[in-house]
Amino acid sequence: MTSRTKKLMCATVFFVLGAALAAEQTPAKCSLTVKVTGLHNTDGNVKLTLRSDPNTVVHRGVAEIDSKTMTATSVFEDLVPGTYGVAVLHDQNNNGKLDFNDVGMPLEGYGHSNNPAKREGPPRFDETKFTLTEPTTSIEIQLIYWP
């Protein structure tokens, strides 16, 4: 084997190994399907907010309510693997916000990833966060309504 052939083979091996390492280091994109259940009616729509931390909104979405199943589904595409949390609002009057009565109780349904228990005040991000690592992930959020 000539010196030139050895150099060419070494260069080829380094190129192939470098490409393989680069492919391993490049995170694959993920998709997240959020199914919202427990809707009380078909008024309005369902608004979803995807966060990567308490202060960073990654995506916002709106899902139509399926009147046959009383559910709503939204898909977030092209997400990098990482930590996320989802907040959901059944915006019955389409005003873009969670409405409250005179004593501060929510008038519309809401929910969060990991389905934290019903209580006064919103859950902390740490209670709603989950790690997205698979190419395709599905979660279900059960809405909470106050009487």
The H or E element that residue 4 is part of is helix 3-25
pLDDT per position as a tens digit, 120-145: 999 999 999 999 999 999 999 999 99
Question: What's the confidence (pLDDT) of residue 147?
Answer: 83
Question: Please, what is the Cα angle at 89 between 85 and 95, to 5 degrees?
Answer: 135
Within a 13 Å sphere around the CA of 9, how many CA atoms are in the beta-carbon half? 6
For the domain 30-142, what is the CATH code?
2.60.40
Question: What's the confidence (pLDDT) of residue 2?
Answer: 63
What residue ranges do the domains of the chain occupy? 30-142
Neighbours of 5 (CB within 10 A): 9
Average pLDDT, the chain: 88
Dihedrals phi, psi of 107, to nearest 5 degrees: -95, -10
Q: Tell me if 52 sits within 8 A of 84, measured CB to CB.
A: yes
Q: What percent of the chain has pLDDT over 70?
A: 82
pLDDT per position as a tens digit, 39-78: 999 999 999 999 999 999 999 999 999 999 999 999 999 9
